[in-house]
Amino acid sequence: MKQGRGLTGRLKRIAKLSAPPSGLLANRALELRNLNERARVKAFSFVRVPQPKVYGAIGDLEVRMAGNRADILQAQRLRYEVFYEELSAKPNPVASMRRLDQDSYDAVCDHLLVVDTSPEPHGRERWAHRRRPRVVGTYRLLRQEIAERTLGFYSQAEYDIAPLVRAKSPHYRFVELGRSCVLKPYRSKRSVELLWHGLWTYVREHKVDVMIGCASFEGTDPAAHAMALSYLHHYAMAPVDWRCTAHAPLHQKMDLIEKDKIDLKQALKAMPPLIKGYLRLGAFVGDGAVIDRQFGTTDVLVILPVEKIDPRYFEHFGAPSELRSRIAVGD
């Protein structure tokens, strides 16, 4: 009996201690709980999900900067599809397994994207037409101030660009362009125009004075591109004060055909569209080509000072002083 009364007494005391507070203590606990709840709601009211910077749009296609890691992964997947599956790049085992074209520069570069935002049926959602944006075009951009603090310019591995950057830096700001590609079904005037609009808006936004970077011919035999390479050497070589030269062990001659024997029409027809586009804007090329065996290409260095861009293109893309693209952007 004593044991029973003792156990009952202990249970009553435990129940009393675990019971909800009453009186002043209960009111104070309720006030604290309400204060905590209001503070939590207020804190979350200031949280904003970062939105990607949109530069322009035509129909369901928009051009914008990558806003998160998922965007960059889509760009890497697109690059793999174009460079490794469609073209001649040779993936290492990791790239082959992940089906991604990625390197250490991706973490320090900005990524310009063309995105298809059209409703796309997908799996169980095919009747709901849920919007699933897809990256269909990309440019990788590396500003000079970022390159100097991190990995340097990617093109430095093939061309001696450091002397040019040092000589021009007091008055010119550089950005390196690379890894440009568009998914095959989207290689239309509209997609390319969006990509150029986005690039030009980025250049103006960051007050860039010079665009630089490698552009490629498909294949590793310069002789197969003799006419186009010779045209670049004789008609588009950078003047001495803007010239960069391929590193000696990598340097491939570009003057494979004498100037007076070049068929200009044939040379321009054989020119890759991206290089032809740069030339139309007023770009130069560096001295010498370089064979990139991993990507299966013959590279040339493109140098495009903004001050050399033909002013007639400003009528379409916007003047250097304009910060927004002339393509409509939804507010």
What are the domain boundaries of the chain? 2-45, 54-317
Determine the length of the chain. 331
Cα 159-317-146 angle, rounded to 5 deg? 40
Listing DSSP states for 166-226 in one string gives HHHTTT--EEEEEEEEE-GGG-SHHHHHHHHHHHHHHHHHTT--EEEEEEEEESS-GGGGH
Q: What is the mean pLDDT of residues 74-88?
A: 97
What was the pLDDT predicted at 311? 80
DSSP state of 275: H
Whole-angstrom Cα distance, residue 275 to residue 277?
5
Give me the amino acid identity at 308.
K
Give me the amino acid identity at 135.
V
Closest CA to 248 of 158, 154, 155: 158
- Reported as a single tens digit per residue, the pLDDT across 84-111 is 999 999 999 999 999 999 999 999 999 9
CA distances to 62, 150, 303 from 157, in Å: 33, 15, 16
CA 200 to chain centre: 13
Task: Please check the confidence at residue 37 and state whether its pLDDT lies above 80.
Answer: no
- Reported as a single tens digit per residue, the pLDDT across 239-260 is 999 999 999 999 999 999 999 9
Torsion from C-alpha of 64, 84, 218, 165, nearest 10 degrees: 50
Task: Please check the confidence at residue 195 and state whether its pLDDT lies above 50.
Answer: yes
List the beta bridge partners of residue 131: 119
What was the pLDDT predicted at 190? 87
Closest CA to 174 of 207, 200, 214: 207
Instruction: Please compute Rg for the chain using Cα positions.
Output: 29
Whole-angstrom Cα distance, residue 253 to residue 225?
11
Whole-angstrom Cα distance, residue 255 to residue 229?
7
Task: Please check the confidence at residue 28 and state whether its pLDDT lies above 90.
Answer: no
Task: Please check the confidence at residue 82 and state whether its pLDDT lies above 90.
Answer: yes
List the beta bridge partners of residue 97: none
Neighbours of 156 (CB within 10 A): 16
Cα 229-303-163 angle, rounded to 5 deg? 110
Q: What is the mean pLDDT of residues 50-74?
A: 90
CB 298 within 8 A of CB 217: yes
Whole-angstrom Cα distance, residue 77 to residue 112?
14
Helix (H, G, I), strand (E, B) or coil at 293: coil
CB 202 within 8 A of CB 109: no
What was the pLDDT predicted at 45? 43
CB 221 within 8 A of CB 298: yes
What was the pLDDT predicted at 53? 84
Helix (H, G, I), strand (E, B) or coil at 326: coil
Q: What is the mean pLDDT of residues 140-154?
A: 97
Q: What percent of the chain has pLDDT over 90?
A: 68
- Reported as a single tens digit per residue, the pLDDT across 196-233 is 999 999 999 999 999 999 999 999 999 999 999 999 99
Q: What is the mean pLDDT of residues 149-166?
A: 97
Q: Which CATH architecture has domain 54-317?
A: 3-Layer(aba) Sandwich (3.40)
Computed over every residue of the chain, the mean pLDDT equals 85
Helix (H, G, I), strand (E, B) or coil at 241: helix
pLDDT band at 324 (very low <50, low <70, confident <90, very high): low
Q: What is the mean pLDDT of residues 64-76?
A: 96
